[in-house]
Structure 1
Amino acid sequence: MGLFENMWKGIRRMFRYTTLKTIVGKDVALSSRMIDAINDWKNMLDGNAEWLTDSIESLRIEHGICREFADVVLSEMESNISIDRLNQPYQKAISGLNENLQDGLGLGSFVLKPLGSGRAELVTADKFVPISFGDDGKPTDIAFFTLKRVGENDYFTRVERHYFEDGNLVISNKCYHSQDSSDIGQSCPLEEVEEWKDINPGPVMFRGMQQMDFGYYRNPIKNNIDGSACGVSIFDAARERIKKADLRGSQLDWEYESGERAIHVDNRALKQDKATSRFGMARLNKRLYRGLNLEAGKDQELLKEYSPELRDEAYKRGLEEAKREIEFIVGLAYGDLSDVQEVSKTATEIKVSKQRKYNRVNAIERKLEECLRDFVAGLAFYNNMYHSGYEFNCKFSDSILTDEESERQQDRQDVSMGVMSHAEYRAKWYGETLEEAESKLPEQNKVME
């Protein structure tokens, strides 16, 4: 594990409610329950879920869920700003949006924040603290944490706070020093860190800026953890099913490992190497032959084969069923995680699963567009173009349902060519058995067939 990851684990350990309240000087929206949930999601994404052991490895299903949603959402998106001076830094900022969106989906929320000079950063939920929210679910007071190590044991934490005062945006910066990465320590001047010496501690009020200077994205999922406006992981509801799938995967691995063919060799058949004093059989596979005292009588055979019957098909079915349960819970279509060849669903069920995925993707797209629109406002603010009359354009296509319609159109062509029967077409697209479809066909079609 690298230094950077260790330092951010220190930041996450600082995210205790009492510590945050002391830093901010007031109650914060990020409750202890949410802090624990975010840490849990982060561990799952890192392949360190609490149920994993030496014998149970992560299948990284969490990554698969986040990657699938991010790929579909961003493959459908086209966005730009009407003024080139803003569009260039905007396009640069979203060039790496896919991987960052995956993290945001996994941790429930993220902030896309302009830094000035055409730069931007995406901050995931484990690196900022929402202090309060407005009625629209967007932060009205928020703190960003930046950790810097100087030398071997000096840790500096910058707390950058954005909030509203008298309807105007206010930004302040504070610095803390500690010799323990898990403790924020005591207040100190920003000048103690070379990179921060030119930062204005503030508070600085920006009159006329009546919205936050960044975009905030939150998953379109109701927060049943603490009821706040904090975002919830896209895979939170499927946590127990992901645990079940990891267990099924480990059972399948063990079935293959324990079921390896072996030859039990009586000690009488082994020869001792004079150089090493070890017993063995020349030119034979070490995994295949195992020394064992089989002698029960002089006439008993020296070799016995161990070749148990594998039960892998049963474990495979169990794993695929767990994956399909996850797909249903998180809003993916059947076959996105599971083996599409193993999906024994009717056409109606498959169609419904695609519609379910479309609905979830569509909800994510609306939230993302709102985030990008606010980010563009922040970008315009830092480029002194907030009132320039720029236009932000964002468009998403409907590839999920479009692909289904394309498939349906192809089937219609197959019917007209005689490659597919009317009954087969009806059975596939109306969710009927072949017998039911045949009984419901118009008389002329039955005659034609």
Structure 2
Amino acid sequence: MFDGLKRLWGRIVSMFNYTTLKNIIGKDVALSQTMIDAINEWKRMLVGNADWCDDDTVESLKLEEGICREFADSALVEMEAKILNNDKMDKVLQKSLSDINKKLQIGLALGAIVFRPLGPDKAEYVAADKFIPISFDDSGVPNDIAFLVVKCIGENDYYIRVERHYFTNGNLTIENKCYHSQSKNDIGQRCNLEEVAEWANLQPGPIVYIGMTEMDFGYYQNPIENKVDGSSCGVSVYESAKGLIKKADVQAARLDWEYDSGERAIHVDQRALKTKGGKTFLPRLKKRLYKGMNLEDGKDKELYKEYSPAMRDEAFRRGLEEYKREIEFNVGLAYGDLSDAQEVDKTATEVLASKTRKYNRVTAIQEKLEECLNGFVNALAFYNGSYTSGVEFTCEFNDSILADEESERQQDRQDVSMGVMSLVEYRMKWYNEDEATAKSKIPEQNRVME
């Protein structure tokens, strides 16, 4: 049903502006033009096409992808979610969870994601660029939402199905509308669902499901305050670090240029170079040995000059690592998640504080994810006729971020007591001291061990 959408575009919100979406729904929607623009920007950043990466000068470091991957990996490590009293539904849940890591990464990048059943035995993830939140309840979950599905038949016939979910007198209501257009950027005119074979059996509705008092999907939203437009729409996990990510990408471009411009070359007279097709080429890397010069008899009679500038790469690398650490602080990661762990000039207390910061952010993500999974399981029960009978669902997460830190430190203490690790090494690692400082801090009676 949704293959046409996935083949044609990766984004719905980029197809239509706010005015078009308002006309489709027939009322104001919570998704403002500002949010539409923001979602499109986050998506471009995620795939390496940020506005500052629009030429050959600056390439994306894909830090956005790294941020989302690190949060998803940390949140989902050893997660155990299970439906206890319905094996059939649990199989659907487990199959759906097989893709949750990569889908959560998209949700983290774009601010929100819907996890919804497609009948009793199938499910799909719908990222924020493929649905329209119309309104939200007090808890921040959409209570009126539209999913847009696009189908192309032939070369120029586009069909857009608007599947809207909302409440009527406290009961779930679903309706479908279909539009036909000869342009992918225009909603076109209303038409019948039967014009698309795959939609012929769908009921236009609205159909009211008496007794279903909640939405038929799970909704995940990043635990981040929306400062983009102040609405209840979700915000990207890297929104607050956009400027720093740009600086890091530009800094990396400076580092690349330093390496490119610093290639050794031997300047020789133009006549010493061979040409091909009337042109002289400047080779790169190990083949870049000669660069031609037009030298005439006169004061300067040197036929060979070496070009070997001093490299400033270390300064550029330090700057790049500092930007990465600022990004880590901004988004809530620990030092070393993006930056080089060997370059982290922090005390053990500061490192532990950064671990705690990450733990708090990951815990908040897990809480939102558990709410989403609860909503999905209830929706799955609805489509399996078990909504009123109830299902037993459990979801547990592993708190390994801080536990691993303390376990590693305890192991190092044991290594010191066994004599396989010196006190100097221990202080250098956990107190971030150089060797001389570490030695000076060791009690006199223990220095014989060093």
Per the TM superposition, whether the score is higher than 0.5 is yes
Q: CA deviation at 1:277?
A: 5.7
**Compared CA separation, residues 373 and 49, structure 1 to 2 (3 A):** same
Measured against aligned partners, the alpha-carbon deviations of 1:186-210 in whole angstroms (never above 9, x if no partner) come to 1111111111111111101011000
Q: CA deviation at 1:26?
A: 1.4
Q: CA deviation at 1:116?
A: 1.1
Is 1:241 aligned to 2:244, yes or no?
yes
Measured against aligned partners, the alpha-carbon deviations of 1:151-201 in whole angstroms (never above 9, x if no partner) come to 001111111000001010000011111111111111111111111111111
Q: Do 2:345 and 2:432's aligned partners in 1 also have CA atoms closer than 8 Å?
A: no
* Counterparts of residues 85-100 of structure 1 (less than 5 Å): 85-100=88-103
1:120 match: 123
Name the SS for the 1:56 alignment partner: coil
Name the SS for the 2:12 alignment partner: helix
**Compared CA separation, residues 252 and 423, structure 1 to 2 (3 A):** closer
What is the letter of the counterpart of residue 358 of structure 1? Y
Q: Do 2:12 and 2:131's aligned partners in 1 also have CA atoms closer than 8 Å?
A: no
Q: Do 1:76 and 1:398's aligned partners in 2 also have CA atoms closer than 8 Å?
A: no
Q: Do 1:14 and 1:184's aligned partners in 2 also have CA atoms closer than 8 Å?
A: no
Distance (Å, rounded) in 2 between the aligned partners of 1:225 and 1:167: 31
**Which sections of structure 2, spanning at least 5 residues, go unmatched?**
none
Distance (Å, rounded) in 1 between the aligned partners of 2:331 and 2:281: 54
Distance (Å, rounded) in 2 between the aligned partners of 1:387 and 1:173: 26
Distance (Å, rounded) in 2 between the aligned partners of 1:295 and 1:9: 61
Distance (Å, rounded) in 1 between the aligned partners of 2:122 and 2:81: 18
Q: Do 1:176 and 1:185's aligned partners in 2 also have CA atoms closer than 8 Å?
A: yes
**Compared CA separation, residues 279 and 393, structure 1 to 2 (3 A):** closer
1:148 match: 151
1:413 match: 414
**Compared CA separation, residues 109 and 271, structure 1 to 2 (3 A):** closer
Name the SS for the 2:219 alignment partner: strand
Q: CA deviation at 1:404?
A: 0.8
The count of aligned residue pairs is: 443
% identical equivalent positions: 64
Q: Do 1:174 and 1:190's aligned partners in 2 also have CA atoms closer than 8 Å?
A: yes
Q: CA deviation at 1:295?
A: 2.4
Select the residue among 260, 268, 274 that pairs with 1:257. 260
**Compared CA separation, residues 442 and 149, structure 1 to 2 (3 A):** same
Select the residue among 97, 105, 109 that pairs with 1:106. 109
2:355 match: 354
**Compared CA separation, residues 218 and 280, structure 1 to 2 (3 A):** closer
Select the residue among 124, 138, 162 that pairs with 2:165. 162
Name the SS for the 1:13 alignment partner: coil
**Which sections of structure 1, spanning at least 5 residues, go unmatched?**
none
Select the residue among 56, 63, 67 that pairs with 1:65. 67
Measured against aligned partners, the alpha-carbon deviations of 1:363-390 in whole angstroms (never above 9, x if no partner) come to 0000000000100111111111112332
Distance (Å, rounded) in 1 between the aligned partners of 2:438 and 2:280: 70
2:22 match: 21
2:216 match: 213
Name the SS for the 2:14 alignment partner: helix
What is the letter of the counterpart of residue 295 of structure 1? E
Q: Do 1:223 and 1:230's aligned partners in 2 also have CA atoms closer than 8 Å?
A: yes
Q: CA deviation at 1:76?
A: 3.1
**Compared CA separation, residues 261 and 436, structure 1 to 2 (3 A):** closer
Distance (Å, rounded) in 2 between the aligned partners of 1:395 and 1:348: 29
Name the SS for the 2:13 alignment partner: helix
Q: Do 2:412 and 2:426's aligned partners in 1 also have CA atoms closer than 8 Å?
A: yes
Is 1:287 aligned to 2:288, yes or no?
yes
**Compared CA separation, residues 10 and 344, structure 1 to 2 (3 A):** closer
Distance (Å, rounded) in 2 between the aligned partners of 1:359 and 1:222: 15
2:81 match: 79
2:58 match: 56
TM-score of the aligned structures, taking structure 2 as reference length: 0.91
Distance (Å, rounded) in 1 between the aligned partners of 2:227 and 2:158: 36
**Compared CA separation, residues 185 and 10, structure 1 to 2 (3 A):** farther
What is the letter of the counterpart of residue 257 of structure 1? D
2:321 match: 320
Q: Do 1:331 and 1:360's aligned partners in 2 also have CA atoms closer than 8 Å?
A: yes
Distance (Å, rounded) in 1 between the aligned partners of 2:421 and 2:260: 45
**Compared CA separation, residues 405 and 294, structure 1 to 2 (3 A):** same
